[in-house]
Structure 1
Amino acid sequence: MFEEHLTHCELCPRRCGANRAAGHRGVCGAADGLRVARAALHFWEEPPISGDAGSGTVFFSHCPLHCVYCQNAPIANGSVGADISVARLARIFLELQEQGALNANLVTATHYAPHAVAALRSARAEGFRLPVVWNTSGYETQETIAYIAGDVDTFLTDMRYADPSSAKAYSHAPDYPRIARSALSAMARTDAAIIVRILVLPGRLDEAKENVRFVHEMYGDRVTLSMMSQYTPPASCTGHPELERKVTPAQYEELLDFADSIGCDEYFWQDGDAAQESFIPDFFDLEGVLAPSAAAASSPW
């Protein structure tokens, strides 16, 4: 079904050219199949995303970036997740709608873009009507943004680095600053709403400020900024001791003050206790991924 996109994969900016259709794995770790780690209501996104009902969040396994501080490492490296069909993914979207979700929130789905689009269209044929959120690291090609644009209502995208050396050290992607800005320009050409998350990393406050300035000056009210203080230090970040600490409240306040000083006074901000592991879902139970009969069959009880 997806050979056009997977035979020589260029869905993400790595453009690794892997023949995923033949079962070869790309830089992201994915082959031809579809792997999902969790599908459940999530209440800790920005207010218009989670609302009171919760966002119908689908976490996809594997990832093109490989960040050294990844808070979702078990799913990013593919060790957690279940291989499912496009038909099952379509059913998941419908089940989230039945649970009262405010939207369908696709987290790190870039490398599964053809599968996701096919599942969304199949679900819509069966009565799926929820708006769709494309929840991304910002490491996207303009071609993939154009491909999914007609099926996405909101882009929830990151802007993590302004310095290529930081992007290289922490995400093995020195081109991230250029790519993320290019992807944002592609998103801005669509009809979708856009929320840009500014993740503050320890010791990288100046980069966060630079990204705030860029987004505000370039896009103004077209984009809503979300200032993220939730960086959670991993248990071990080998070779990067500077990342083994939280962002201080004073540093976060400095970012908010900077945003105010340049006239960016409409943005989302987080409470001081956002950097907690309790806000990270438990991915190991595969909640919502398997069909009820399959989940029962796999239970040890």
Structure 2
Amino acid sequence: MALVSVHKWEEPCISGKNGAGTVFFSNCNLKCEFCQNYTISAQGYGISVDVARLAEIFLEQQQKNVECLELVTPTHYAPVVIEALKRARAAGLKLTVVYNTNAYESIAVIDQLSTYVDVFLPDLKYFDDAAAQKYSHAPDYFHFAAASIKRMVAAVGPLVMENNLMKKGVLVRHLILPWLYKDSIKIVEWLWSTFGDKIYISLMSQYTPAYNAAAFPKINRKLTTFEYQKVVDTALALGIKNCFVQEKSASSVDFIPVFDGSGVLRGKMQKQGNTKSV
């Protein structure tokens, strides 16, 4: 694990007033060449904990009066996460559980999670499989991501909102990439034709070239206003109501967390090392 902190920069229906108690897991089942969090996703920096400590971490977030418990990229630790959630629930965890994922999931894992997860927060990255392979090394990405999002919607049921906070439902994020706004338009059209207003959509403009982006000239720059607005205009033309948009100022390294292991261990900090997924 790389960081446990209160995160206040999520969509308003997730972070609300008090923020999300966010748990960042090390490693990732994608290999995105532009990942902003590459120190933990690709290089694997983090601290190893057992299931008992993970359950404690979940309960500690509840004591911070946060709006929800947000698990970031936990898929490759799913069996441990499920056991920790089971223990935390038995010990009094009442927080809404948000599962933040890249959508490259298996149906079996989603089915196992459905008892413990209230809100799925998938990031649907690509419609075009060639782009998915080139930039994230993810064969058949859209096939698996589309199927997993459909199962997520079926698993949690209709949207439930309380005081402008999502208590049940699916919020699909999409990060628009340079030169790929037409791919993004296809994603927006697919989401609308498939789910209508049964889900929320978040169109993100925050792309900042990082990690190996310099090796790919087309994505080695920030998004233009034109590219982002074309995608937003598509959502408006379709009549999508449950949609978040993002200010261009969000495209900054200032919003990338410092992955220093804070909150992972009780008491004294411990130097980070490389972790391996289970």
- Could you tell me how far 1:228 is from its partner in structure 2? 0.6
Alignment TM-score, normalising by the size of structure 1? 0.84
> 1:119: which partner in 2?
84
Separation in structure 2 between the aligned mates of residue 298 and residue 73 of structure 1, nearest angstrom = 18
The number of residues matched between the two structures is: 261
Q: Which aligned pairs between 1:185-196 and structure 2 lie closer than 5 A?
A: 185-191=150-156, 192-196=168-172
Separation in structure 2 between the aligned mates of residue 62 and residue 101 of structure 1, nearest angstrom = 25
> 2:275: which partner in 1?
none
> 2:264: which partner in 1?
289
Alignment TM-score, normalising by the size of structure 2? 0.91
- Whether 1:98 aligns to 2:63 is yes
Separation in structure 2 between the aligned mates of residue 79 and residue 260 of structure 1, nearest angstrom = 39
Separation in structure 1 between the aligned mates of residue 50 and residue 43 of structure 2, nearest angstrom = 16
Q: Which aligned pairs between 1:193-208 and structure 2 lie closer than 5 A?
A: 193-208=169-184
Separation in structure 2 between the aligned mates of residue 49 and residue 146 of structure 1, nearest angstrom = 22
What letter matches 2:112 in structure 1?
Y
Q: CA RMSD in A?
A: 1.4
Are the structure 2 counterparts of residues 235 and 118 from structure 1 closer, same or farther at C-alpha, using a change threshold of 3 Å? closer
> 1:182: which partner in 2?
147
**In the alignment, is the contact (CA less than 8 A) between 1:216 and 1:264 conserved in 2?**
yes
RCO higher in structure (CA 8 A, sep ≥6): 2
Are the structure 2 counterparts of residues 265 and 282 from structure 1 closer, same or farther at C-alpha, using a change threshold of 3 Å? same
Are the structure 2 counterparts of residues 95 and 78 from structure 1 closer, same or farther at C-alpha, using a change threshold of 3 Å? farther
- Could you tell me how far 1:80 is from its partner in structure 2? 1.5
- SS in structure 2 opposite 1:83? coil
- SS in structure 2 opposite 1:150? coil
Are the structure 2 counterparts of residues 242 and 287 from structure 1 closer, same or farther at C-alpha, using a change threshold of 3 Å? same
Same amino acid, percent of matched pairs:
41
- Could you tell me how far 1:235 is from its partner in structure 2? 5.5
- Whether 1:76 aligns to 2:48 is no
**In the alignment, is the contact (CA less than 8 A) between 1:59 and 1:107 conserved in 2?**
yes
- Segments of 4+ in structure 1 off by > 4 A? none
Larger CA deviation: 238-247 vs 162-171:
238-247
- SS in structure 1 opposite 2:115? helix
1:158 corresponds to which of 123, 136, 151? 123
Spell out, residue by residue over 1:218-238, the C-alpha distance to the aligned partner (whole angstroms, 9 max, x if none).
Answer: 101111110010111115425
**In the alignment, is the contact (CA less than 8 A) between 2:32 and 2:137 conserved in 1?**
yes
Separation in structure 1 between the aligned mates of residue 212 and residue 53 of structure 2, nearest angstrom = 36
Unaligned runs of 5+ in 1: 1-35
